Amino acid sequence: MNFFHLIISSPDGNLFEGDVFKLDVRGTEGDLAIMAGHIPFVTSIAEAPVTIWLADDTERKATAKGGLLTVGKDLVTLISGSFQFEE
């Protein structure tokens, strides 16, 4: 499995930082699945569920209330005004 580094930030600071296998998020133009090696791009994200597949093969679910997703070669950054992990 290939991994990429993910940072999730909000006005409260960094909420998550680590290596992940996959990120599912909803862009304003539709659903996105980000994996290692994805083509770089920037898009706004919609208010929707987010799923993160971690390097240890577990997943974390959350809700983002809009924001910006930046996908680079080895780094993905999700910035949201409100981001809440499920317990």
Question: Which CA distances in Å does 46 have to 6, 22, 27, 56, 68?
Answer: 18, 18, 5, 27, 9
Digit-by-digit pLDDT tens for the chain (87 residues) are: 799 999 999 998 999 999 999 999 999 999 999 999 999 999 999 999 999 999 898 999 999 999 999 999 889 999 999 999 997
Task: Dig out the tokens for 43 from the structure.
Answer: 């898009």
Instruction: Indicate which CATH number applies to the domain containing 38.
Output: 2.60.15.10
Structural domain for 24, as ranges: 4-85
* Per-residue model confidence (pLDDT) at position 63: 96
pTM given for the model: 0.94
Name the domain count of the chain. 1
